[in-house]
Amino acid sequence: MSATVILAFVLGPLLLAGVVVWMVLRNMRRAESQGAAQKAELDERKTRAAWAGATVASLRNRPTPAPGERVVRVDLRLEVRAQDGTRYFTTPSWMVNVEALANLQPGTQVSVKIDANDPQLIFPNVSWAELWPGTRPKAKV
């Protein structure tokens, strides 16, 4: 076999692998920056959100933390009471500290904030919970 054929069989796959690795890393960086931008948008929207109260109507899942896990995803059904007296139900997903799960039993009152653009977007207004990171808010109006 000639040196050219050997080089083609060695360099071809190496070049292809390099292109694939570059594309994967580029997509990871892009997703990371989009995630950071989304988190920044949610943080900004939370600062403008209106304070409200809510009652836990039910938990749509019963989170069971794995050993050593400090937070769990909790899918809630909340009855929200807006400042103007309006009441409505919504189903947010929150990331909750394991030690605070007792705070989210049916009938429990919890402080929340209602997004100005999307009243279904409910931010927890407590130190032991955050909006689930995968939450996709509606576009600003």
Per-residue pLDDT for 141 more than 50?
no
Q: How does the average pLDDT of the chain come out, rounded?
A: 85
0.75 exceeded by pTM = no
What is the band of 135 on the pLDDT scale with cuts at 50, 70, 90? confident
**Dihedral through CA 115, CA 46, CA 92, CA 134, nearest 10?**
120
Task: Kindly report, residue by residue over 46-104, the tens digit of the pLDDT.
Answer: 889 999 999 999 987 777 777 888 899 999 999 999 999 999 999 999 999 999 988 99
Dist. CA 45–CA 121, nearest whole Å: 10
Query: For the range 41-45, what are the long-range contacts, defined as Cβ-Cβ under 8 Å and sequence gap of 24 or more?
Result: 41/137, 42/131, 42/135, 42/137, 45/115, 45/116, 45/117, 45/121, 45/123, 45/137
Task: Compute CA distances 51 → 63, 115, 133, whole Å.
Answer: 27, 9, 21
The per-residue pLDDT for 32 is 66
Dist. CA 37–CA 95, nearest whole Å: 19
